[in-house]
Chain A
Amino acid sequence: DGGITQSPKYLFRKEGQNVTLSCEQNLNHDAMYWYRQDPGQGLRLIYYSQIVNDFQKGDIAEGYSVSREKKESFPLTVTSAQKNPTAFYLCASRQKGNTGELFFGEGSRLTVL
């Protein structure tokens, strides 16, 4: 079945460590997105990519980095520069230029100890 796979589902990190969240899709979608979700704040856009080897900062990109070397993959690195990394992270994809909706993964919950 086509879909978006995020891993790991739960992740614990010590302060000062970088961590990478995986996002893989087999929907053949061009565009991929990373959102951060905190209670009461909805979803905030971190980074998005409309095509391979290109990506743009969203509203809260500081302390995060991404890469888009393959169409199927859009990993997110939470760096030690991110002041409050504990959150629920959601990856999504959709066809570029399409009025279609975003398709979401099941999310990754990161906890900084």
Chain B
Amino acid sequence: AQSVTQPDIHITVSEGASLELRCNYSYGATPYLFWYVQSPGQGLQLLLKYFSGDTLVQGIKGFEAEFKRSQSSFNLRKPSVHWSDAAEYFCAVGGGYQKVTFGTGTKLQVIP
């Protein structure tokens, strides 16, 4: 069965510092991978996605993620965090005819 693990429940970073959110997945075939962001009480917005090709994908708001098949990972990164990046971030796997499975999320707090 497919699954996603986000080991960090909560992360605090200073504004302007770099950020890396971890995501590990389990999937029986070539995975389709996603990162979403959610503000409190809102729906989810797609940051970026990976299906094939270049393992480093660029997304919106300056985010990027790297697919590492050998480590079953798809970590999200941003070189310099802004206060507006404070939100909850979800990694997800699945696509095509398969259901999409989400991780438990990582809450990001940004301090001045």
Q: Which residues of A contact B (CB under 8 A)?
A: 4, 33, 35, 40-45, 48, 50, 58, 88, 90, 92, 96-102, 104-107, 109
Q: Write out the residue numbers on chain A whose beta carbons fall within 8 Å of the beta carbon of B36.
A: 104
Q: How many A-B residue pairs have CB under 8 A?
A: 58
A88 to B44, alpha carbons, bound, how many Å?
12
Q: Which of A92, A96, A99, A107 contacts B41 (CB 8 A)?
A: A107
Q: Which of B96, B99, B104 contacts A41 (CB 8 A)?
A: B104
Number of interface residues of B (CB under 8 A): 25
Mark B48-66 against chain A: 1 for CB-CB distance below 8 A, else 0: 0101000000000000000
Is A97 a contact of B97 with CB atoms below 8 Å?
yes
- Could you pull out 14 A-B pairs where Cβ atoms are within 8 angstroms? A4-B43, A35-B102, A41-B104, A42-B6, A42-B90, A42-B102, A42-B105, A44-B102, A45-B99, A45-B101, A50-B97, A58-B99, A99-B96, A104-B44
